[in-house]
Structure 1
Amino acid sequence: MKKLSAVLFALLPTIGFANTQIIHNVNGYTPTKNEIHQFSAVAFANGKITALYQDNSELPKSDDITYIDGKGKTLLPGLIDAHGHVLGYGLGISRVNLMGVTSELEAVKKVQAFYQDPSQQSWLLGRGWNQVIWPSNSFPTKASLDKAFPNTPVWLKRVDGHAGWANTAALKLAGIKASTISPSGGEIIKDNNGEPTGVFIDNAMYLIDKAIEPMSVTQEAQMLKQAMNSLASQGLTSVHDAGISKQTIDAYQLLASHNAMPIRIYAMADATDKEFDSTLKQGHITSDIADFVMRSVKISADGALGSRGAALHKSYSDKDNHHGLLLHEPEALTALIEKSMQAGFQVNTHAIGDKANTLVLDNYETLMPKTKTKALRHRVEHAQILQLSDIPRFAQLGVIPSMQATHATSDKNMAEDRLGKARLGGAYAWRKLLNTGVKIANGSDFPVEYANPFYGLHAAITRQDHNNQPLGGWLEKEKMTRQEALVSFTIDAAYAGHQEHQIGSIEVGKMADFILVDKDFFKADETTLWQTNVSKTWVGGNLVHSQE
């Protein structure tokens, strides 16, 4: 860890200190190349960083400068979540949150408590249930919802967004009957009599979703802004929004046109959106201030591990002859990836199971030379379960694994049941991947996981939950160092969005994105890092969150 010497105001040779602010008396850390540097003050003006100082005594004195006392707190680069779902997070704020409920009955009661007057609601919506942590370890059914809500449609998505739970009223509105056939890449769970139980997996969820009246562009914009303000309060200054529709693109552009973006968004167009082809034809959306950028696409190859939708080479250890779901036929997936590459877009493909990861890497290996797009830095989103033989291929191909640290600590009690011990060698394998020389772009996959990036930093470093379990960490050889974890949430996440020259570190000439926090990231007890509190957040030199 190195100390920075004073850096002169190289960017302000003619205008002096006009509009300059200096945050001083801070314990500053920033990654630069392969090192972490320390500093005690940072100056910024007109949205960009103009100087760093090692010692407060080096600060310039001028009546034109606004001085901000950091009061000895730690200043870090603004954190970047390389895979989140902002609209889904915003909807979660306004709808019932079922994360952490411990039984099907508790979930129903929480819906009842949240919607105390369901007669005023056309649909009751929520997200977050996870049957893996319930005593039954079984999917819920419509019966429990029907008792509480006999006439009001209810639709509750699983924590990972890859399954949904509906009541009979919702099924009727959607036209779902015993005779309804499961779509390709999805499953309508049915009982022994052939009746839908109320649970829908992956592509089958659309059968319910399409029956719900969509929001307007203005309503989406309001929801997105509310979500971004909340994310800023947790230390996030940029998010890679993983899979958005043309309408959500329009909502972001509406906010950007009014300078109303609290944080930066690097967007991935959703390949399943009905207007996807027109989005590709319209090309990249760029911005000089990087408030809203869209130059990548999100394609999903398979489902999730918790719902047994992740595509595996061999059967699930806890379900014979079941290999998960490929959401596209292999030929269709190849065509979709190639079309996106030919259009000049970075391709970010969701792959959780080892079969899906092999399939995606095979496609990249064939299509990147064909389309001459290696420089686009194509990604695999999640890269969660890998065959050991596939791990070196990321570095060989120049593909970025975009991973989410808290998935490991959330899945630790379920993953071995699904996979068995042998396949865990390639599961959540951060250290094995880092040892090949790749850059890992870290994130959370919120609202699947909590959005707080310090939860992810803690998980990456300790591989433990908030109760410090298991001792030593789960699959502890895969831990990241503190430096690697911070880099994965800052400069390497920026790299994954082609933005490493604009954001991701506190350096002269970059955007003034940083956060003031109450714990020394490199000296605090690692088991407490998840408890870090964000005092202030700046984006482009604007104070977008303050507890004071």
Structure 2
Amino acid sequence: MLKDAVIASPGAAAGTEAAVDVLVSGGVVVAISDPGQQPNSAAEVVDLAGRWLIPGLWDHHVHFTQWVIRRQRIDLTHTGSAAEVLGLARQAVQRTPAGKTVVGFGFRDGLWPRPARLSELDAATGDHPVALIAGDLHCMWLNSAAQQLVGVRTDETGILREAESFAVMDRFGDPADLTLQDYQDAAQAAAARGTVGVVDFENADNTALWPYRVAQGVNQLRVEAAVWPDYLAQTVDAGLRTGQQLDDSGLVRVGPLKVISDGSLNTRTAWCWEPYSGLDSSLPDACGGPTVPPQQVRELMRTARDAGIDAAIHAIGDRANTEILDIFEELSMRGSIEHAQLLRWEDVERFARLGVTASVQPEHAMDDRDVAEVYWPGRTDRSFPLRSLEEAGVALRFGSDAPVAPLDPWLAVAAAVSRSRDGRDPWHPEQRIAVGAALAASSGGRTEVSVGGPADLAVLERNPYLSTGDQLRSMPVAATLLAGRFTHRAL
């Protein structure tokens, strides 16, 4: 039993919330009562001493193995130029044993004062293989030694983008080198931020890998295991359907089909209706373009639909979103658009009408606000239009896209509520949403702890409904429970 808990609610006024006792049994909340009203039982009593209780949080879009690997890579997230990246790469080479590849993560080259140059990277790193992965995962900067290692050749920039980059990225950080302890540490860190579940979009055989990991003790999270096109046929042949339980503990379920339909804003490969600023409109890629052609996406989605598998389709550009909504409408299919970053106003209503979930990463708005103003000037009012989506009745789900942003749902909540970070003025503040809506989007739609709901809970040191954006970012989490079992406890 959780004694003296305060259930966080948007309707309660500050200082008027009454403490309650919350009885948990069999993985669910079975009773909520005034203090001292529960009969004596053998259940453990944990005194929350007036701390705040909310539904546990989900990260609805992660690449879990890439997140585990990122924790072991050189951090390039705070760099703003090629020169800064080269300085960190040079330092890393100096402290790395010969023969071991240096891998970095997190640069964003969209606004660099000068473009990347292979000759400069080679001069800084010599014959030591160096692979630097962009923060949006859609390109890599490889020196000549790294290119030779994996058998690719780039132009004078040293940059590989989109499909060419995806084809070799796993060569620089082999998941086979990771241990179960690495996965446990990452899952434990997520639980310490109030996280109870993730939707894993790793490009791997997730429906086989996750039951094994959970059986081996990586059991701090629920997991919806997504299916990529390369694994769709075997998933269909096995008779697996979205929502089907995959392990004895009930922590792993089959997730949706994942397809990447276009690129990213930073690389100007997101598929848009109008040309990117500064690009000749006569060029074939002036508007970006599809990564997987719409007809191929359509066939994959049809196969999934007929097998009872939902779809989760990556679409960032406004034209990509239009095309994918067209396919959802044609197939009368359930699912989500992942990112839904750049939208036409007429498509906002279509999300609601078609019942398509907008699975958004609000922290990306903070990462992309400057590059959006340069590449998408005059249109950024419809970039991450969260308030418009909410008012239209669209189901919102929030995630991080870890490792693109950290696996921490509070960052998504804070970005959605404040549209600000690092003390900057809010970016398009008219698209801010309320704390309650942001928490619901980060907890699978659950708005409040209630009887009959799962005992997937987070215990907070601060009332989230009275917190500023910065306070939400750093929200102290005292405990996390998964089906009534503590996965994090600091009280």
Q: Would the alpha carbon gap of residues 229 and 364 (structure 1) be closer, same or farther in structure 2, given more than 3 Å must change?
A: same
Shift of 1:114: 4.9
Shift of 1:483: 1.3
Q: Quick check: 1:171–1:208 contact (8 Å CA) kept in 2?
A: no
Residue 234 of structure 1 pairs with residue 182 of structure 2: no
Counterpart-to-counterpart distance in 1, 2:171 and 2:225: 26
Q: Would the alpha carbon gap of residues 382 and 419 (structure 1) be closer, same or farther in structure 2, given more than 3 Å must change?
A: same
Residue pairs, 1:53-132, within 5 angstroms: 53=33, 55-62=34-41, 64-114=42-92, 117-119=95-97, 122-132=100-110
CA RMSD of aligned residues (A): 2.5
- Kindly provide the CA deviation profile for residues 378-401 of structure 1, in whole angstroms up to 9, marking residues without a partner as x: 110011111111111111111111
Which residue of structure 1 aligns with residue 136 of structure 2?
Answer: 160
Shift of 1:296: 1.0
- Kindly provide the CA deviation profile for residues 40-61 of structure 1, in whole angstroms up to 9, marking residues without a partner as x: 33221233222223x3243433
Q: Quick check: 2:70–2:105 contact (8 Å CA) kept in 1?
A: yes
Which residue of structure 2 aligns with residue 496 of structure 1?
Answer: none
Counterpart-to-counterpart distance in 1, 2:9 and 2:212: 33
Residue pairs, 1:281-320, within 5 angstroms: 281-282=237-238, 283-284=240-241, 285-287=244-246, 289-320=249-280
- Kindly provide the CA deviation profile for residues 325-373 of structure 1, in whole angstroms up to 9, marking residues without a partner as x: 31112322222222222222110000000110011011111122xxxxx
Give the aligned residue type for 2:21: A
Give the aligned residue type for 1:365: E
Counterpart-to-counterpart distance in 1, 2:96 and 2:234: 39
Shift of 1:101: 2.0
Q: Would the alpha carbon gap of residues 317 and 528 (structure 1) be closer, same or farther in structure 2, given more than 3 Å must change?
A: same
Q: Would the alpha carbon gap of residues 250 and 221 (structure 1) be closer, same or farther in structure 2, given more than 3 Å must change?
A: farther
What SS does the aligned partner of 1:412 have?
Answer: helix
Residue 536 of structure 1 pairs with residue 479 of structure 2: yes
What SS does the aligned partner of 2:289 have?
Answer: coil
Shift of 1:211: 4.7
Shift of 1:153: 1.5
Q: Would the alpha carbon gap of residues 268 and 106 (structure 1) be closer, same or farther in structure 2, given more than 3 Å must change?
A: same
Q: Quick check: 1:142–1:166 contact (8 Å CA) kept in 2?
A: yes
Residue pairs, 1:163-202, within 5 angstroms: 163-177=139-153, 190-191=155-156, 197-202=157-162
- Kindly provide the CA deviation profile for residues 141-185 of structure 1, in whole angstroms up to 9, marking residues without a partner as x: 3333323332222111100111111110011122223xxxxxxxx
Which residue of structure 2 aligns with residue 5 of structure 1?
Answer: none
Gaps of 5+ in 1: 1-21, 178-187, 192-196, 369-373, 493-499
* Equivalent in 445, 463, 471 of residue 419 of structure 2: 463
Residue 144 of structure 1 pairs with residue 116 of structure 2: no
Counterpart-to-counterpart distance in 1, 2:94 and 2:227: 37
What SS does the aligned partner of 1:244 have?
Answer: coil
Counterpart-to-counterpart distance in 1, 2:167 and 2:411: 34
Counterpart-to-counterpart distance in 1, 2:405 and 2:487: 23
- Kindly provide the CA deviation profile for residues 4-54 of structure 1, in whole angstroms up to 9, marking residues without a partner as x: xxxxxxxxxxxxxxxxxx11222222699xxxx97633221233222223x
Which residue of structure 1 aligns with residue 440 of structure 2?
Answer: 487
Q: Would the alpha carbon gap of residues 309 and 415 (structure 1) be closer, same or farther in structure 2, given more than 3 Å must change?
A: same
Q: Quick check: 2:363–2:400 contact (8 Å CA) kept in 1?
A: yes
Q: Quick check: 2:65–2:175 contact (8 Å CA) kept in 1?
A: no
Which residue of structure 2 aligns with residue 547 of structure 1?
Answer: 490
Which residue of structure 2 aligns with residue 411 of structure 1?
Answer: 368
Q: Quick check: 1:87–1:227 contact (8 Å CA) kept in 2?
A: no
Q: Quick check: 1:221–1:251 contact (8 Å CA) kept in 2?
A: no
Q: Quick check: 2:263–2:291 contact (8 Å CA) kept in 1?
A: yes
Residue 476 of structure 1 pairs with residue 429 of structure 2: yes
Shift of 1:280: 3.1
Q: Quick check: 1:281–1:343 contact (8 Å CA) kept in 2?
A: no
Counterpart-to-counterpart distance in 2, 1:358 and 1:39: 48
Q: Would the alpha carbon gap of residues 102 and 537 (structure 1) be closer, same or farther in structure 2, given more than 3 Å must change?
A: same
* Equivalent in 19, 23, 32 of residue 52 of structure 1: 32
Shift of 1:203: 0.4
Q: Would the alpha carbon gap of residues 420 and 133 (structure 1) be closer, same or farther in structure 2, given more than 3 Å must change?
A: closer
* Equivalent in 305, 329, 343 of residue 365 of structure 1: 329
Residue 25 of structure 1 pairs with residue 1 of structure 2: no
* Equivalent in 434, 443, 447 of residue 403 of structure 2: 447
Shift of 1:78: 0.7
What SS does the aligned partner of 1:94 have?
Answer: coil
Q: Quick check: 2:62–2:202 contact (8 Å CA) kept in 1?
A: no
Counterpart-to-counterpart distance in 2, 1:228 and 1:430: 28
Counterpart-to-counterpart distance in 1, 2:463 and 2:92: 38
Shift of 1:311: 0.5
Which residue of structure 2 aligns with residue 9 of structure 1?
Answer: none
Task: Report which stretch shifted further, 100-109 or 342-351.
Answer: 100-109
Q: Would the alpha carbon gap of residues 382 and 60 (structure 1) be closer, same or farther in structure 2, given more than 3 Å must change?
A: same
Counterpart-to-counterpart distance in 2, 1:48 and 1:115: 51
Give the aligned residue type for 1:338: R
Give the aligned residue type for 1:410: D
Query: Percent identical across equivalent pairs?
Result: 26
Counterpart-to-counterpart distance in 2, 1:226 and 1:244: 21
Q: Quick check: 1:298–1:347 contact (8 Å CA) kept in 2?
A: yes
Shift of 1:251: 2.6
Give the aligned residue type for 1:334: R
* Equivalent in 265, 268, 278 of residue 226 of structure 2: 268
Q: How many positions carry a matched residue from both structures?
A: 478
